[in-house]
Structure formats: C-alpha cells, structure tokens
Amino acid sequence: MKKLFILFCILVQPTFSQSNFQQFINSVNSASNDSTKNNLIDSFIVHARAVGIPYIEGNSANFVYRGIGTNVYLAGDMNGWNTSSDKFLELSNTNFFYITKNYELDARLDYKFVRDGTWILDPENPKTVSGGFGPNSELAMLYYIQPPEIKYYTDISHGKLKDTTFYSTNLSNSRTVRVYTPPNYESTTDSFPIIIVHDGLEYVSLAQMNNVLDYLIANNQIDPIIVVFIPPVNRTPEYAGSQMNQFTSFIVDEIIPYIDSRYRTKREAKYRAVVGASNGGNISLWLAYDRPDVFGNVAAQSSNVITSIQAGFQNSPKLNLKVYLDIGTYDISSLIPLVRNLKTTLESKGYDLFYREYHEGHSWGSWRAHIDDFLKFFFRKHRQK
C-alpha cells in the first residue's frame, strides 16, 4: 500500500513554471530599500513556518537560514557530509541565506548547516532524527511516508527487554546483551524464531526496533520473535577485520547455546536470522555465508561487503538462505557498487532475495524505516483460512 501511494503521488506530481520561492527571492532582490526587503523576508518566514521548512515545491527543497554568520554551507546525506560544496547564497543587505536543491519526491535525508565552521541544526526545522553522532535535521520530501511502526503505542501489548552482561571466552571481553521477548511470552508454551542483531543497542535506541516488533506483532503482520541485541566491543575488527572468526565462534558457540538454553527457541536454521547495518551488515552476511546450518535468513542494510564475502557467494553453490539487502542512493559511495554487485551475484545464483534501493543516505533514519520489510520477509504471519 505504501509503495502504491508513492507511485500515485509521482504520477500526479504538480509542475511549476516558476516557483513561489523564486518569486520571493526576485521580489527581495528588486526591493527598493532594506526595510522592504526585511518585511518581505518576515512575511515569507511566517508563511514557510506554517507549511514547513525546508520549503518544498515539487522536487525542489529550499533551505533557508536567517541570523548571524558570514558563510553558511549545507552538509548531509545529499553531498557525503561535505562541508564546503554547497554554499548558501546571501541576499544583499540582509541576514537571509538560502540554497535550492532538487531531490526525488520520496527522498528522506539527514543534514546540518555549517555556519562559519560550526555545525548546527537547521534552526527553522523542528524535525530531527537521531544518528550515531547525535541529532540531525531531517529533510522529508513531499511523498516520503514516515514509518508508523517506529512509534510507541500505548494501546497495544509490548514485549520485554532484559539486559545481561555476557563474557565471551572467544573474544576475552564482556558486553551487554539485550534480549527481547514478545508480548505474552510467559503465558504460552510456544517456541519462537530468533534474530541476532548487530549494533544491537543502537537498533533499540536509534532505530526503535522493539517498537517495530511490538507494532508488527500486534497487527498480525509477523510471528512473535525472540530478538537478541548484541553491541560490538571492537567494532571494526569484529565486524570486518581480524576478529571475524572469533566473533563468529562467539555468536555460534556461545550466544546461540546461551539463548537456546534459557528461552523457548526454534532450533532450525530457517527460524534463525542475523541482521545488521554497514559493517554490522558485513558480519551478518559473513555469519550467514559461513554458517548456513545455523542461520537461514540474513538482512544487511547499507552494508559493507568485503571481498571474501562477495567471492564466497560467487564461487560457492547456492546456500539455503533468504537474503535481504538495501542501499541508499545517497549512501556512502564506496558501498553502493559493493551491494549492487552482491545483489547481481545472488540473483544469478537464484537466491530468495529481497532487494531495495531507497532515496536515502547512510543513516539510522533510513534503516529504522525498513526494519519492517526484512521482518515480514523472514517471518510474515500466515493467517489460517
């Protein structure tokens, strides 16, 4: 339904011979005195605040800044967070700056302003999204649909989260492991599928994955699931470097037996999934490739794909895996061809593959909006007739 709505909106996209924003700029530039200029800017700001800033017209996003400063730049997903490529124009004899950029109608992007070398949120935009380095301002184009499933709803049942400090003998370190049990877990004798989630605590704090689980379970869109949220200790070595083999042993030989011994889990690979984003996607792909006897489902969001993973899937017979891949068209530029190449390889091998490209960047704002896609791909609720 969401995708049909986007298609409908694109088909009925309005056209503009000259934008209202450009007319405003022209009016200010042609004003006879500074007082008239500032009155025009005041009027525009009041109007723009009412409809939303950035001020969007069709596929144009008009970013505006009014205040102190000499040089203002736009930095975000749209330009790889470059601090000097997109400079605002300043209207003469005013403190009003602007820049106009064109994006797809369903794009959603994180951004900030860089004012005289200082990073700031867009002062006129109340919409923010949490990222790994704090909040960013959010640009959502006209036909981007905010994901309802990430919200907390008081009128549905909620799963429980339990934290445990877990020591790994394979890695010789400890970390907090957070386990989600679905609503009414204690009142049943059922066994449940499990998902291992890398960068796990951030999938809760930044992606609200527990809210997504509650929402989809309450709306009978997925089967109830046990989810194990695992954070890294040495992220790059564990996820994409020298400790990948030890990390694999940690997951397969320590975490899985621990969860199986303490929770009612389904033990077949088809009921187990491994999930992550960026380098967390890389280790997820590695675990699924290396141990398809343990994991029958893998989701990698905006993933790194190291050479051994690409070559492994390319040169090995097809494994019994369901694979979810997504990537942003505004993602880290080096990752896009890696994911596309892996997608081509998996298609050529006949894998059960769910692949999407979104007009978004390398951000938790993107990843959280697509958790529902891989959950439904792996564990969709099949209603009995």
Confidence at residue 223, expressed as pLDDT on a 0 to 100 scale: 96
Q: To the nearest whole percent, how much of the chain has pLDDT over 70? A: 94
Mean pLDDT of 192-208: 98
Mean pLDDT of 285-290: 98
Mean pLDDT of 141-153: 97
How many Cβ atoms from other residues are within 10 Å of residue 104's Cβ? 16
Confidence at residue 335, expressed as pLDDT on a 0 to 100 scale: 98
For the 149-379 domain, the top CATH level (class) is alpha beta
Domain regions of the chain by residue span: 18-144, 149-379
- Is the predicted pLDDT of residue 385 greater than 60, yes or no? no
Mean pLDDT of 328-347: 98
Question: 288 with 313: CB under 8 angstroms?
Answer: no
Q: Which helix (H) or strand (E) holds 129?
A: strand 128-131
Question: 209 with 197: CB under 8 angstroms?
Answer: yes
Mean pLDDT of 189-204: 98
What fold characterizes domain 18-144? Answer: Immunoglobulin-like (2.60.40)
From edge to edge, which strands make up the β-sheet containing 226-230?
A: 160-168, 173-181, 226-230, 194-198, 272-277, 297-301, 322-330, 352-361
- Is the predicted pLDDT of residue 8 greater than 50, yes or no? no
- Is the predicted pLDDT of residue 350 greater than 50, yes or no? yes
- Is the predicted pLDDT of residue 333 greater than 50, yes or no? yes
Length of the chain: 385
- Is the predicted pLDDT of residue 384 greater than 60, yes or no? no
Confidence at residue 199, expressed as pLDDT on a 0 to 100 scale: 98
Q: Residue 54: is the preceding peptide bond cis (ω within 30°)?
A: yes
Q: Which two tokens stand for residue 271?
A: 């009921």
- Cα 327 to Cα 359: distance, rounded to the nearest angstrom: 9
Rounded to the nearest angstrom, the gap between the alpha carbon of residue 242 and the centroid of all alpha carbons in its chain is 27
Confidence at residue 15, expressed as pLDDT on a 0 to 100 scale: 33
Confidence at residue 147, expressed as pLDDT on a 0 to 100 scale: 97
- Is the predicted pLDDT of residue 166 greater than 50, yes or no? yes
Residue 237, exposed/middle/buried by CB under 10 A (0-12, 13-18, 19+)? middle
- Is the predicted pLDDT of residue 14 greater than 50, yes or no? no
215-238 residue pLDDT tens = 999 999 999 999 999 999 999 999
Confidence at residue 383, expressed as pLDDT on a 0 to 100 scale: 54
The band of 338, judged by pLDDT with boundaries at 50, 70 and 90, is very high
Strand partners, 354: 324
Compare 12 and 41 and report the one with higher pLDDT. Answer: 41
Among 365, 383, 385, residue whose Cα is nearest residue 77: 365
The band of 347, judged by pLDDT with boundaries at 50, 70 and 90, is very high
Confidence at residue 382, expressed as pLDDT on a 0 to 100 scale: 76
